[in-house]
Amino acid sequence: MRCMKLAGIFGILLLIIAIISFIFSSISYFKTINMMQEMGEAFPLYSPGSSGITFTDVFTILIFIIAIVSILFLYFGFVKMGQYANSSLLKIASWLIILFGIITIILFIILIFQVQSIGSNIDGAMVDSQAAIDVNLNYLFTGNAVGDLGALSQFNSLLTLFYIFLGILILTIICIILFNIGLINIRNSVRFSMVAGILGLIFVLVTLSFVTYVAYLFASINSGNLILGIFRVFGFISFVYSIPGFVIYLLYNLLGWSMVTFMVLSLFDASKKFEGDVSENSNYQNEPLQDSQNSPEYNQNNYS
């Protein structure tokens, strides 16, 4: 079975999902920008969500599952590439990325349930409140919306879970850096691996910078100067939902698509060299023997 070729196919599927997700997110992105411009860039800290599960939620979850499966199979292909190319660094880094990826998925699911639990508490508080913005501010300052809802402990547990999630994510990023170094090291054995490794290093460094800044924003909110932290968050959100922010978002996606494209090309090249050649050589070794025994020259020599 050609595992690397199959991993490359999953990489193409991942690339298609990424492009489709970018299109839909861009539509939502510009809708949000228009809403902010109509409201004078002053929208509430929290808006009550719709009750029940919508088709969009089901579609998003389905796409998320397919993307995760594609990523796991993609990196498993590089485990095989590391075996064939005699690169222990690439092989071990790929296994660690798969392991940390599974842990990250579990933590991410728990994080979503925690956020939904806190959001439902605020939704219930807003029903009895006359001023939604006062409820939001009271919730941020005291940890309670209207009445004693135990939201403070939930908010602290959410931050703790977020920091654990962030720690695992940082470990994953470190493994991805080692993974891309491993790709560069096998540049003489596999075509396109060097380009994929360089693009991967650039991509992971940009991602690490973004994650570090988001962690800084969360730390500023959790620090003593809460008001300053809130203003920093609002400043960051205002920049994200702007035309320059969208340009950066587009460039970031183009970098990611290019990285995945060269990863897929390297998998196909490695599959052709290490997996395809073995099969072809084995067929080649068997076919001449069979053909020579059945040839007229062979039979004529035996009769003579």
For the chain, the domains span 3-34+55-101+162-273
290 band by pLDDT with thresholds 50, 70 and 90: very low
Helix 226-240 crosses helix 243-270 at what angle (to 10 degrees)?
A: 70
pLDDT tens digits, one per residue of 139-160: 444 444 444 445 556 666 777 7
Instruction: Give the span between the Cα atoms of 217 and 214, in whole angstroms.
Output: 5
| pLDDT for 222 | 62
53 band by pLDDT with thresholds 50, 70 and 90: low
| pLDDT for 38 | 63
Within 8 A by CB and 6+ apart from 206, the residues are: 252, 255
| pLDDT for 1 | 61
102 band by pLDDT with thresholds 50, 70 and 90: confident
| pLDDT for 231 | 65
Higher pLDDT, 206 or 42: 206
Count Cα neighbours of 8 within 13 Å in the Cβ-side half-sphere. Answer: 18
Q: What is the mean pLDDT of the chain?
A: 74
pLDDT tens digits, one per residue of 111-134: 777 666 665 554 454 444 444 444
Q: Is 0.75 topped by the overall pTM?
A: no
Instruction: Give the span between the Cα atoms of 275 and 272, in whole angstroms.
Output: 6
Q: Is the separation of the CB atoms in 135 and 145 below 8 Å? A: yes
- Look at residue 104 and tell me whether its pLDDT is greater than 60: yes
